[in-house]
Structure formats: structure tokens, C-alpha cells
Structure 1
Amino acid sequence: MNYTVAPATGDEVRSGYVGRQLREFNYRYVGEYPEVQYIRLNARDSKAQVVGGLRAIVAMHWLRVEVLWVSDDLRGKGIGSQLLVEAERLARGLGARNAALETFEWQAPQFYARHGYEEVARMDKYIGNFYLAIMRKAL
């Protein structure tokens, strides 16, 4: 069989074909589950400027936090906590039973630990001498 490998076209990506095929395959093992849902939250100051945000997905009953950012000058004021708590609340409403995320050691492993996340794996020297922590939490 001859085949080629090339970047997917925009139409191919928008069609969701590859994701549907994988989901159909997965159903054979774990039963049906809801399609991926997106959680997109922003924190804004009194001038409506974005000072923090969270990007996550809910897939296979898991909240997967992909990005949580708070402006340097506003860290430690509870904005990250509010974003995380709201994402977890929304995720539970979408059927998530657990949460997972990755964070570098210079980012926020202690922050997530304070919110009930536990480190379940670590990749040492992921970049330079810094580790990447993989963390999870039951919702």
C-alpha cells in the first residue's frame, strides 16, 4: 500500500474526522463518552484588561488544564485560585470526575498542591535541569 504523510488541510482539521475515528475506536473499550468540551476563562481588571486566564478541555470525564496564567504583578491575589475553582466547577457539570495538568517546577507545582493536586509523575531535565510535574486531582 502506498501512502503519503502531509500536513492536514484546514478543512480536514475542521471536519473532525480523525478525532471521530479515534473516539469510535475508544468506545469499543470504555463505552461512549461525551465529545470534548472546552473551558475558556479570563479574569479582567476594572478596565476590562485580561489579567489572567485558563484554557482547558474536558475529555473522557477528565478536566485537562492546558494553560493557567496570571499577570506577574497580580500573582498571589487569588486570581489563579478563582480561575481554577471555576474551571473545576464547570468541568464537574460537564461530567468530569478527575483533573490533570502538567507544570514546570518554576511555574506552580506548590500552587496546585494547595488546591489538592498530587504529583503522579515527574520528567527530570525536561528542559535544562528543570523537571515537568504531572499532577492529578479527584473532582
Structure 2
Amino acid sequence: MTIWAIAEATQEEVKSGELGRRLRHFNYAFVGEYPEAQPVWLNAKDEEGRTIGGLRGYVFLYWLQLDVLWVDEAVRAAGLGSELLAQAEARAKHLGAHSAKLETFEWQARGFYVKHGYKEFGRIDNHTKGFYLAFMMKSL
């Protein structure tokens, strides 16, 4: 019988990337070698240098995963979100991505993503206080 102990990972263990490396090597047997996750991080600043928008995502296994797209209320509907999304998608294609995926709550930006060609492929109803979480994707 194997005996083990489970403990919270140390910062050093997290930074080492060992788990990701081990999983990646396991995956290689199925899909071949692929690059490590590649960040797609963009910031938008106004003329005073204040952050007014930004995007955080990464390309992994040839998909762009969008984690955060935020635009300050003062400049919403001016096209900044569309520009951030277009630049992220272009960067992701350059990094080898063929598709993009994201999650968004119904009170956030589902309509914005539909306008940009994303399709809902699933949802979790009543995820938070009666609101659903939508899963969306798009071919790049």
C-alpha cells in the first residue's frame, strides 16, 4: 500500500512549474509536443497614463483562453473593447491559435462577444445569485 501526505503547495513549488511540465509530457503522447502557455496581456492607457482597459489571456494547445477583458465605464462603447479583443485575437493567431474561448456572466458582456462572432456552447444556470455563466467560443 502506498502512503502519501497532502499539503498546501509552497510558493517555490508553484513557481517551479513541475506539475505543468509533468502534465505536458503526459499530453505529448496523445497530441504531440506543443509550446508552453503563452501570455496575451494588453493594457490601454489614456493620455495621462491611467489604465482605462486591458485584457488578460493566454494561448494553450492552440486555443486563446480569454480570462479578463475590462474597459473603464468612462470609455465604454467607444470601441476600446473591440480593439483590445481584435489585437488579442491577432496576437493569438500569430502564436498559433486557431480558436478562442471564454466565460462570461450574463450581466457582463455576452452580447459584446456575440457581436464579435462568439457562440455560446454551454452555460451554468443559477451560477451566482440566479445569474448564469456562459461558455463561449469562436474560430479565429
**Shorter-chain-normalised TM-score: which range?**
over 0.9
Q: In the aligned structure 2, how far is the partner of 1:113 from the partner of 1:20?
A: 35
Alignment of 1:114-133 (within 5 A): 114-133=115-134
Correspondence for 2:39: 38
Aligned partner of 1:21: which letter? R
5+ unaligned residues in a row in structure 1: which ranges? none
Aligned partner of 1:101: which letter? L
Correspondence for 2:55: 54
TM-score, with structure 2 as normaliser = 0.97
For residue 9 of structure 1, report the CA deviation from its aligned partner: 1.1
Correspondence for 1:63: 64
Q: In the aligned structure 1, how far is the partner of 2:85 from the partner of 2:95?
A: 15
Alignment of 1:1-139 (within 5 A): 1-139=2-140
Q: In the aligned structure 2, how far is the partner of 1:2 from the partner of 1:79?
A: 54
Q: In the aligned structure 2, how far is the partner of 1:115 from the partner of 1:6?
A: 43
Moved more, 6-15 or 59-68: 6-15
Q: In the aligned structure 2, how far is the partner of 1:55 from the partner of 1:128?
A: 26
* Aligned-pair Cα RMSD in Å: 0.7
For residue 128 of structure 1, report the CA deviation from its aligned partner: 1.1
Moved more, 26-35 or 111-120: 26-35
Aligned partner of 1:31: which letter? G
TM-score, with structure 1 as normaliser = 0.98
Aligned residues: 139
